[in-house]
Structure 1
Amino acid sequence: MKKFSLLIVAMMLLLSACGNASSNKGNGGNSVASVEQGTEGNKEQQTSGKEKPVELSFYFPVAVGGPITGFIDKLAADFHQENPSITVKPVYAGSYQDTMTKVVTAVQGGNSPDLAVLLSTELYSLLEMNALEELTPRFSQDYFNGFYEAFMSNTKSGDQVWSVPFQRSTIVMYYNKDLFKAANLDPEKAPANWDELRDYAEKLTVKDGSGAVSQWGLEIPSTGYQYWMLQALSLQSGTNIVSNDGTEVYFNKPEVKEALQFYVDLGRKDKVMPEGVLEWATVPSDFISGKTAMMFHTTGNLSKVKSDAKFDFGVSYLPANKNYGSPTGGGNLYVFKDIPEERKAAALKFIEFLTEPERVAQWSIDTGYVGTTKAAYDTELLKNYVAGFPQAAVARDQMEYASSELSTYQNGQVTKLFNDNIQSALLGEISPDEALEKSQQQADEILKKYGK
């Protein structure tokens, strides 16, 4: 009996050893079976709701009219519904400038957000801080190719991609068709060039009995983004004002001088636009209230004008000088470097969610920003919207003539000095030539250490 028992034990040990050997052979090293087993385990975690929760801080600005915060909150909630383990916490941080200041403070304090919407032009400043996660290896080339190239130009340094286009824009011209009719102008024909713009604006400027202007022909804002408006006029005259690598500016080129002289003359000489300072946020309100018949402004205000204007209005390309032209504008999505890998992965997933065609289409409809991808305009959603509201297609079509926005190293300093000098010219404190020569000298001094 004792021998029989020992025999049974020996057989059991032999069977166990064979089983272990077979198991080790099937799952050894980094085998497919091992990976699949891990994947199945992850699936089981996801299915059972036990995946480790991730919370993302998402800083964003508001630079246009409309309930943007509500739209962002809804996007975050919809994403969480699809991805229960990831919670996106939107943080409204004020204007673009306010948001950049808060991001810089957080990064320098070792507590950077996970992702943020910042101006596409902040790229070189953020690179100099070593704050960004490079996105080139994180997405496929096909994914990047889906965006309009003019928008992608402000995402790159060389061949490296550092951000993804999100709430992007160009400058367009809005015009009041009712006031065109009252001035015996064709309401379906916007001014196509600078001469027509000046002529139309003169006919649309109305004075009351005392000689005071009760309605302006044109308003072009001159605070916050005056460099952007001048850049548009410079592109129309045949030149951009910045190199592709952020190390040089061309503020004193003859074409830029021609552009600034035209900008100044509209108010000071032609008297078809208010002299001096025109606040960025006031110009759309003036247009909606009928105080101006035409305005240059971001397409990001299209939905607000559509909802608030009590008159028929048109949207057109910016009038040409030598050619059509507008810089792109608006914000990109950035992911920050000094965060854990699981939060980077979650942030990338949120970016993919935000840039799906249907979502890009809805964002464009809700806000007026240009749909950033070609696929968005192939959706039935945006096709139907454009068919019923053709004004929504103008900014997209003008992309053919769009160029990258002013973006340099030390971009905040360069932009501020340029804005200040442009404003001095608009106020009549210095001549356009002086403003641009001064801007060039100051910018060259700032950028000399970045030159080749």
Structure 2
Amino acid sequence: MQMRAKWMLLVVVCFTMLLGCAKSQTTETSTSANKEPETAQTTPAAEEPIELQFYYPIAVGGPLTKVIEDMTAKFTQKHPNIKVNSVYTGSYADTTTKIQAGIQAQQPPDVAVMLSTELFSMLDTNAVIPLDDFIAKDSSFNKEDIYPAFMANSQVEGKTYSIPFQRSTIVLYYNKAAFKEAGLDPEKPPTTWEELTQYASKLKKDGRQGIEIPGSGFAYWMFQLFSLQNAKDVNQNLMSEDGKKAFFNTPENVEALQYWVDLSKKHKVMPEGVIEWATVPTDFIEGKTAMMIHTTGNLTNVKNNAKFDFGVAFLPMSKQYGSPTGGGNFYIFKDIDPKKQAAAWEFVKFMTEPEMAAQWSIDTGYVGVRKSAYETELMKKYAAEFPQALVARDQLQHAHAELSTHNNGKVSKALTDQIQAALTGTTDPATALKKAQEDADKALAPFNK
């Protein structure tokens, strides 16, 4: 009986202790539940892995695929949940063709670098998204930090559809050793069309041209520089801002094309016919031409390979200085997962950060698209050692939007075909631009109803 009483007392004690533990656990659980939102805010969940397809072209000399791969690797280090598959897609034209095929198959890349001039074409196919919401919500990105001349090919009707990346102006390269040999001051490059002709005449000799200007690949772009320099006012360009009209057949443009043709046909300071895009920088590096007009995107290629001292200068002018901007922008595509669009924005933002823009400019010769890139210690040091790196940027004050219209492929081809016809002597400049205008008007007719 006594043993039973003791057993009963032990059971009661144990039950009481268990009840107390349960109450304590309930209280702790309740307290923990009340604090859960605060914990969620301070300890975010692991980010979901995302994979991006990134297409990019290369249009200049040098091992730029490695540069791009290094940049994307740095991005992944900073954003380990985002894997970027960088796909080199050839030339700008090849890249556009592959992207258009992907759009038609409803399998576009997630993000790509394309010519800034493809903006209207991308809008016509409803292929890309505006980036204004990302920009508005992202205090770390300052659109005003990007040079306005580059933004001209990035916006339509107040909306931003692409972010400048590998951007350029056209510049004059000249061989200082050849200048000295010809009795020219190596620190005074030609500043006018007349001087350009005179200098080229003095520089030409057996085995060396006075100047070379490419007529393939981007003939319309090269012609645009002459057009802007000979325009009757600084606001005159080859197209309207809305991309619905082209202005090829003007007296000023006929004069501009005639000057280009005369460099070879009349003055004999340049090879006749169409000079290939890639041939010109090779000829310059090898000393086969004393001067060349080409993209600043070849600057690092020339710097690394030329065995002589060279200069870089503003393009010589007719009535005013002028150069079209050029190069590629980042686009984010429409028919992809919104999470991928957000990840693509992080990638675009990273690739155009001041430090990255500065390093990209140093590695390639392209202009650092952000003003703050030139305030970095990296760029300040480089520019002090190699001031030629600042010429294309400084020329932006005289730069204008590159030729870009609706149905851009047909419009630019219409102009390119006729420029090349004039350069090869199969037609004259006036007839060439008249035909280019007619073909452009037909291509743009559906957009002017």
Query: Corresponding residue for 2:147?
Result: 148
* Deviation per residue, 1:212-270 (Å, 9 max, x gap): xx211000100011100110011101231111111111001111111101011111111
1:130 aligns with 2:129: no
Displacement after TM superposition at 1:136 (Å) = 1.2
Mark the CA change 1:279 to 1:18 in structure 2 (over 3 Å): closer, same or farther: closer
Aligned pairs for 1:296-315 (under 5 A) are 296-315=293-312
**Aligned mates of 2:52, 2:253 — CA distance in 1:** 43
Displacement after TM superposition at 1:23 (Å) = 8.9
Query: Corresponding residue for 1:391?
Result: 388
* Deviation per residue, 1:316-337 (Å, 9 max, x gap): 0000100000000000000001
Query: Corresponding residue for 2:69?
Result: 73
Displacement after TM superposition at 1:40 (Å) = 3.7
Aligned pairs for 1:303-452 (under 5 A) are 303-451=300-448
Mark the CA change 1:134 to 1:291 in structure 2 (over 3 Å): closer, same or farther: same
**Aligned mates of 1:432, 1:162 — CA distance in 2:** 36
Secondary structure (helix, strand or coil) at the match of 2:312 reads: strand
1:94 aligns with 2:90: yes
Query: Corresponding residue for 1:287?
Result: 284
Secondary structure (helix, strand or coil) at the match of 1:284 reads: helix
Choose which of 227, 233, 239 in structure 2 pairs with 1:234: 227
1:60 aligns with 2:56: yes
Secondary structure (helix, strand or coil) at the match of 2:272 reads: coil
Aligned pairs for 1:205-224 (under 5 A) are 205-207=204-206, 214-224=207-217
Which amino acid in the other structure matches residue 253 of structure 1? T
1:185 aligns with 2:180: no
* Deviation per residue, 1:251-301 (Å, 9 max, x gap): 011111111010111111111110101000000000000110000000000
* Deviation per residue, 1:170-197 (Å, 9 max, x gap): 0000000000001000000000000000
**Aligned mates of 1:270, 1:244 — CA distance in 2:** 36
1:105 aligns with 2:101: yes
Secondary structure (helix, strand or coil) at the match of 1:90 reads: strand
Which amino acid in the other structure matches residue 135 of structure 1? L
Which amino acid in the other structure matches residue 152 of structure 1? M
Which amino acid in the other structure matches residue 48 of structure 2? K
Displacement after TM superposition at 1:38 (Å) = 4.2
**Aligned mates of 1:157, 1:271 — CA distance in 2:** 43
Query: Corresponding residue for 1:139?
Result: 135
**Aligned mates of 1:111, 1:102 — CA distance in 2:** 10
**Aligned mates of 2:72, 2:370 — CA distance in 1:** 21
Displacement after TM superposition at 1:426 (Å) = 0.7
Larger C-alpha radius of gyration, 1 or 2? 2
How many residues were matched structurally? Answer: 431
Which amino acid in the other structure matches residue 309 of structure 1? A
Which amino acid in the other structure matches residue 107 of structure 1? I
Which amino acid in the other structure matches residue 312 of structure 2? V
**Aligned mates of 1:223, 1:371 — CA distance in 2:** 26
- Percent identity reads 53
Displacement after TM superposition at 1:18 (Å) = 13
Displacement after TM superposition at 1:19 (Å) = 8.6
**Aligned mates of 1:343, 1:152 — CA distance in 2:** 24
Secondary structure (helix, strand or coil) at the match of 2:397 reads: helix
Query: Corresponding residue for 1:167?
Result: 166
Query: Corresponding residue for 2:250?
Result: 253
**Aligned mates of 1:144, 1:255 — CA distance in 2:** 35
**Aligned mates of 1:286, 1:23 — CA distance in 2:** 74
The Cα RMSD (Å) is 2.4
* Deviation per residue, 1:64-111 (Å, 9 max, x gap): 011110011111111111111111110000000001100111111111
* Deviation per residue, 1:122-171 (Å, 9 max, x gap): 00001111110110111139621110000000001110000000000000
Normalized against structure 2, the TM-score is what? 0.91
Mark the CA change 1:39 to 1:342 in structure 2 (over 3 Å): closer, same or farther: farther
Secondary structure (helix, strand or coil) at the match of 2:114 reads: strand
Secondary structure (helix, strand or coil) at the match of 2:142 reads: helix
Secondary structure (helix, strand or coil) at the match of 1:408 reads: coil
Secondary structure (helix, strand or coil) at the match of 1:372 reads: coil
Query: Corresponding residue for 1:210?
Result: none
For structure 1, the residue ranges without an aligned partner over 5 or more in a row are 28-32, 208-213
1:199 aligns with 2:192: no
For structure 2, the residue ranges without an aligned partner over 5 or more in a row are 1-7, 9-14
Query: Corresponding residue for 2:112?
Result: 116
Query: Corresponding residue for 1:30?
Result: none
Displacement after TM superposition at 1:39 (Å) = 3.7
**Aligned mates of 1:377, 1:76 — CA distance in 2:** 22
Displacement after TM superposition at 1:390 (Å) = 0.7
Which amino acid in the other structure matches residue 399 of structure 1? L
**Which region of structure 1 is more displaced relative to structure 2, 138-147 or 265-274?**
138-147
Secondary structure (helix, strand or coil) at the match of 1:300 reads: helix
Displacement after TM superposition at 1:451 (Å) = 2.2
**Aligned mates of 1:37, 1:168 — CA distance in 2:** 45
* Deviation per residue, 1:323-366 (Å, 9 max, x gap): 00000000000000111111111111111111111110000000
Mark the CA change 1:137 to 1:184 in structure 2 (over 3 Å): closer, same or farther: same
**Aligned mates of 1:19, 1:113 — CA distance in 2:** 48
